Amino acid sequence: MRGLLDLWTYAAVCAGLFFFIAGTVGILRLPDTLTRLHALTKADNLGVGLVVLGLLPQTADALAALKLVAIWAMVLLSSATVSQLIGRAARAEEPPR
Amino acid sequence: MTSAGGELLVLALLLPVAGVLLAFLLGGRWAARITLLALALGLVLTGLLGVRLFASAAPLTYALGGWAPPLGILLRFDGLSLALLATAMVVLSAIALYARAEFAVPAGARETRASFVFWTLLLGVWAGLTVVVLASDLFTLYVALELLTFAAVPLVSLEGRADTLRAALRYLLYALAGSVLYLVGCALLFGAYGTLDIGLLAQRAQADPATLLACALMTAGLLAKTALFPLHIWLPPAHAGAPAAASALLSALVVKGSFFIVLRLWLEALPAVVTPAAAQVPAALGAVAIFFGSAVALRQARLKPMIAYSTVAQLGYLFIMLPLVLGATALGQSTATALAGGMLQLASHATAKAAMFMAAGLIYAGLGHDRVADLGGVARSLPLTVWAFALAGVALIGLPPSGGFLAKWLLVSAALATGQWWWVLALAGGGLLTAAYVARVLMVALSSAGPAPALRAPVARSRQWVVLGLALLSTLLGLLAWVPLAVVPLGAAGAR
Amino acid sequence: MTTTTIYGLLGALLVGVGLYGLIVHPRPLRKILSFNVLGSGVFLLFGVVARRGAAAGFGGDPIPQAFVITGMVVAFAATALAVALLLRLAEVGGATELDEPPPAEDRAA
Amino acid sequence: MALVLDAGMALCLLALALFALTARASYSAVAGFVAYGLLVALAWVRLAAADVALTEAAIGSGLTGALLLGAAARLRASESTTVAWPSAARRAAAALLSTLVALGLAAVVLWLPQPAPTLAHEAAAGLPSTGLGNPVTGVLMAFRGVDTFLEKVVLVLAMVGVWSLAADERWGGRPGLRHEADPNGVLAFFARLVIPLGLVIGLYVFWVGADHPGGAFAGGTVVASMWLLAMMTRLADTPPIERRALRLALVVGPALFLLVGLAGLAFGGGFLAYPEAYAKPIILAIEVAMTLTVAVTMALLLAGPPLRSADGQ
């Protein structure tokens, strides 16, 4: 059972890291603000989500697990808000092609 | 660890801090009232501290919270502390009396910016200096340095003009660089010895790489804050651009705080590390400062920049005391002469410089300008003020019976006793140059040619008397010859 | 090579980098930024000293850690004052560069 | 493995620091500095200093970053495109000096004595009489309480300094510019959702500080950032600085510290000595006041000098 859970952790965290790397590459390579934002939000949402899911079985107690989930929720909320704001600002400055 | 009378140290620490908090809270006309009341109490308290110190003939100490060093912090009050605190109290009181009219809240207003800022920050300078003289822990001294910086910088830009804002920003950046360098030294010393208590460091410190680098960095930081040549460039615009009362505060007292920490560091915390040879470096910079500052002062067209450059020069004298004290220690002589000379120079410059800046402020208030060339005959319009300027000049030059004379005499004797005759040249040469720039102003001001200049605004006699009183004090300090000799060695360096 | 050595060397380098920026950079805002980098380097040195002193079941000596917390608050206050001065200068005087001071005789009393 | 991680992080930090100092635009430089601050907070975790890590993330990176970003945005218009760098000789001299300092410090880091001197044992021995479990809080509130007390006075002076930069006719008014955010926009929605949560988290961080990493500084800063968010979204405005209640909030932390200290002096225990039975409740009471003072001070230091009259114009 322990081994299976560890395996899950490895798999999920690695998948999360993949999304982070892909998102970072996207920010560096994509041409304009909106597409970069797209890459960023993917990294935030999927990356953090998968890392949190992967770490859940490793927590000592339910409270720690709850804190992890709360962190995920906060990241989702702030990233959604910030990308909205950046998107609006970008649309005001550089009209979509 | 707490000595008899130690509670007085706590009260001395809390009085200005309580003043800051109350003045901030109540504001308005209360800020000035609270300051004057607190200063009156502070003068009494300083007197009591002096009496206790003489009675016990040993430093007064107080272990805060009952925690002894190295875990806790010790307040410690010795002869050096008394010398700086007494000077500060007298000068602060004179400045407060002088500034009462200038920074009053006008009728009809509840509170004004200049009044609120001036009084709270004057109390802040007092609080900073009190911590400087009481703390015997290098990190607490860092907090004291920051108290002084945060109180001093806004005073520079109190008038809000672009040039004063620029001067204040440059001063702040110098001061911050200085504090950070000081802080690096604290990190290294703690890493090497596990304490920042000055008494414990004195027992443990050795001349190893960490301690030498720490000492160099901390000294450099403190010199930047004290504006020793060549780190002085922030001082003239900052001190010349502030309102006269604030200039007096900055030039007479604030720079003395960081100098005092140099003394604690070199003479008390790390005497095993610094050598008389190393002390030649800051003293040589001091000698350069004396000639450079005086020469530039001589070329100034306006009174306040001239007085500010004079501060650059006069700060140089203070650093000459370092090799003299260390030289005396190395030769097994008493350090009392050099210490007393240095501290008397500090007190003499503080009183004379504050009086001079305030006299310049009154001349500016009266004439609407302070161009030296156009001061012709001002002695007939503002006789008391010009007298005060002249008396302060006498103290700065070092003519008898001024404190400056006795200070230089003591320093010269210490230099000859320790075989460091070259400092005599700097001490004497500086006096001549000072005489030149003071005489230049007085010759114009006392000239009898032409009509006396008309005053643009009346100058209150009471303010002139305050300035004259302070100048008189600086001129007569030399008559109190027994005081510095008796006060300074009390529990000073080596008596831990 | 240990963790404390790595961060100690990093702290030393950051002090150097920050000091250079503080002296050389012509823009006041970047001087303020450099001051913060310099400060964080100093704080890391304190952190290394604290970590090396781990004992009595604590991960580090709490005294230098407390120094750092005090220092950080003061550094923030200093940054706030410097920024306020800079913004006021931009508002009143236009130019914000701290060019060499003009000769003192030109300055107001 | 851990060392590789540390070395990688050190290199990232160094690169970010260099970027923050060399980037052409001030705005990008500050953005780099914020990222730098977050990584520094991680470095503090690696140095087993969780209290410091929290403070760095909240103050060093968060508030300082917000302050500098705001300044960079406001200076963008007035910032000239070309600046006069110091002469090559001066730059070389500065580079030489900085290199010497860095090398000297590096050498001392490698030299530092082994075993390292420490006060951890003394702190552990003293901690029970304070009733606290977190040694850093013990140092800040008891063993070296006077440093914390005086540092609060530094904050009061800094507040006076920032306010002193107001125009005379704005004295007594509200700090900062009026924010233009749409009260029904995305940010306002976010603020309504997050502020209650953030306040709870801030108080939690302060409360656990007695025994675990946290405390008045980090907690107060979280509360301050929630207030700032409310100001930014116009859910709240900055209070006029002439208001007595505001002045009280700004000094209540050090004032309570002072009063408790005086009470100790009057009743025989000594200044800042807490009677053992009541040590923890007294320290907590001071910390409550401190948290309030820290929160209000931090937010208003960031808001700047009063720019509008008391009625908001």
Please check whether residue D308 is in contact with residue D268, taking contact to mean a CB–CB distance below 8 angstroms: no
Q: Is the pLDDT of residue B493 over 60?
A: no
Q: How close does chain C come to B29, measured CA to CA in Å?
A: 25
**Chain D partners within 8 Å of C4 (Cβ):** 47
Q: How close does chain D come to B469, measured CA to CA in Å?
A: 31
Q: Is the pLDDT of residue D18 over 50?
A: yes
pLDDT in tens, D129-158: 888 888 999 899 889 999 999 999 999 999
Query: Among partner residues C15, C35, C70, which is closest to B184 by beta-carbon distance?
Result: C15
Please check whether residue B245 is in contact with residue B358, taking contact to mean a CB–CB distance below 8 angstroms: yes
What is the share, in percent, of chain D residues with pLDDT greater than 70? 97
Measured CA to CA, the distance from residue A59 to residue A72 in angstroms comes to 15
Return the number of other C-beta atoms located less than 10 Å from residue D197's C-beta.
14
Q: In terms of Cα–Cα distance, which of B350, B340, B291, B297 is closest to B316?
A: B291
Please check whether residue A58 is in contact with residue A9, taking contact to mean a CB–CB distance below 8 angstroms: yes
Cβ distance B143 to D147 less than 8 Å, yes or no, reads: yes
**Chain D partners within 8 Å of C11 (Cβ):** 105, 109
Measured CA to CA, the distance from residue B335 to residue B417 in angstroms comes to 11
Please check whether residue B67 is in contact with residue D269, taking contact to mean a CB–CB distance below 8 angstroms: no
Closest-CA residue of B relative to C67 is B139
Cβ distance D116 to B160 less than 8 Å, yes or no, reads: no
pLDDT in tens, A14-57: 999 998 888 888 888 888 888 888 888 877 788 889 999 999 98
Query: Among partner residues B172, B190, B301, which is closest to C81 by beta-carbon distance?
Result: B172
Secondary structure (3-state) at B469 = helix
Cβ distance D123 to C84 less than 8 Å, yes or no, reads: no
Measured CA to CA, the distance from residue A93 to residue B271 in angstroms comes to 64
Return the number of other C-beta atoms located less than 10 Å from residue D36's C-beta.
27
Residue D239 tokens read as 């209070």
- Quick one: angle between helices C3-24 and C28-52, nearest 10? 160
Q: In terms of Cα–Cα distance, which of B306, B459, B323, B303 is closest to B382?
A: B459
Measured CA to CA, the distance from residue B111 to residue B101 in angstroms comes to 15
Please report the pLDDT score of residue C94 as a whole number. 64
Please check whether residue B435 is in contact with residue B397, taking contact to mean a CB–CB distance below 8 angstroms: yes
pLDDT in tens, C74-98: 999 999 999 999 999 998 876 666 6
Q: In terms of Cα–Cα distance, which of D68, D247, B130 is closest to C75?
A: D68
Please report the pLDDT score of residue B488 as a whole number. 64
Contact status of B17 with chain D (Cβ, < 8 Å): yes
What is the share, in percent, of chain B residues with pLDDT greater than 90? 76
The H or E element spanning position D308 is strand D306-308
Give CA separation, B412 vs B406, B418, B423, in Å: 10, 10, 8
Measured CA to CA, the distance from residue B430 to residue B452 in angstroms comes to 33
Measured CA to CA, the distance from residue B347 to residue B335 in angstroms comes to 18
Please report the pLDDT score of residue B167 as a whole number. 95
Please check whether residue C11 is in contact with residue C37, taking contact to mean a CB–CB distance below 8 angstroms: no
Intra-chain end-to-end CA distance of chain D, in Å: 59
Please check whether residue C50 is in contact with residue D130, taking contact to mean a CB–CB distance below 8 angstroms: no
pLDDT in tens, B144-186: 999 999 999 999 999 999 999 999 999 999 999 999 999 999 9
The H or E element spanning position B463 is helix B461-476
Please check whether residue D220 is in contact with residue D298, taking contact to mean a CB–CB distance below 8 angstroms: yes
SS (H, E, C) A9-75: HHHHHHHHHHHHHHHHHHHHHCCCHHHHHHHHHHHHHHHHHHHHHHHHHHCCCHHHHHHHHHHHHHH
Contact status of A66 with chain D (Cβ, < 8 Å): no
pLDDT in tens, B205-241: 999 999 999 999 999 999 999 999 999 999 999 999 9
Contact status of A77 with chain D (Cβ, < 8 Å): yes
Secondary structure (3-state) at B65 = helix
Q: Is the pLDDT of residue D312 over 80?
A: no
pLDDT in tens, D75-89: 887 766 667 788 889
The torsion angles phi and psi of B62, rounded to 5 degrees, stand at -150, 120
Contact status of C68 with chain D (Cβ, < 8 Å): yes
Q: What is the DSSP string of B102-152?
A: HTPPPTT-S--HHHHHHHHHHHHHHHHHHHHHHB-BHHHHHHHHHHHHHHH
Please check whether residue B75 is in contact with residue B9, taking contact to mean a CB–CB distance below 8 angstroms: yes
Measured CA to CA, the distance from residue B1 to residue B71 in angstroms comes to 13
Phi-psi label, residue B108: left if phi above 0, alpha if psi -120 to 50, beta otherwise: left
Please report the pLDDT score of residue A31 as a whole number. 83
Percent composition of chain D: helix, strand, coil (DSSP 3-state, to 5): 70, 0, 25
Please check whether residue C94 is in contact with residue D172, taking contact to mean a CB–CB distance below 8 angstroms: no
Measured CA to CA, the distance from residue B148 to residue B243 in angstroms comes to 18
Cβ distance B153 to D161 less than 8 Å, yes or no, reads: yes
Q: Give the pairing of strands B74-77 and B60-63.
A: antiparallel
The torsion angles phi and psi of D182, rounded to 5 degrees, stand at -75, 120
Residue B189 tokens read as 């010393």
Please check whether residue A37 is in contact with residue A17, taking contact to mean a CB–CB distance below 8 angstroms: no
Please report the pLDDT score of residue D188 as a whole number. 86
| Mutation target vs C (from B174, B176, B235; most C CBs, 10 A cutoff) | B176
Q: Is the pLDDT of residue C109 over 80?
A: no
The H or E element spanning position B98 is helix B79-102
Measured CA to CA, the distance from residue B7 to residue A42 in angstroms comes to 64
pLDDT in tens, B114-155: 999 999 999 999 999 999 999 999 999 999 999 999 999 999
Measured CA to CA, the distance from residue D235 to residue B312 in angstroms comes to 52
Please report the pLDDT score of residue C102 as a whole number. 42
Closest-CA residue of C relative to B140 is C67
Q: Is the pLDDT of residue C104 over 60?
A: no
Cβ distance C6 to D7 less than 8 Å, yes or no, reads: yes
Please check whether residue B225 is in contact with residue B150, taking contact to mean a CB–CB distance below 8 angstroms: no
Return the number of other C-beta atoms located less than 10 Å from residue D87's C-beta.
9
- ipTM comes to 0.95
Give A3: exposed, middle or buried? Use CB within 10 Å, 0-12, 13-18, 19+: exposed
Mean pLDDT of B283-299: 95
Of the pLDDT bands very low, low, confident and very high (cuts 50, 70, 90), residue B457 is confident
Closest-CA residue of C relative to D12 is C10
Measured CA to CA, the distance from residue B89 to residue B122 in angstroms comes to 11
Higher confidence at residue B45 or residue D189? B45
**Chain B partners within 8 Å of C61 (Cβ):** 194
Give D85: exposed, middle or buried? Use CB within 10 Å, 0-12, 13-18, 19+: exposed
Q: Is the pLDDT of residue D109 over 80?
A: yes
Cis previous bond, B230, omega within 30: yes
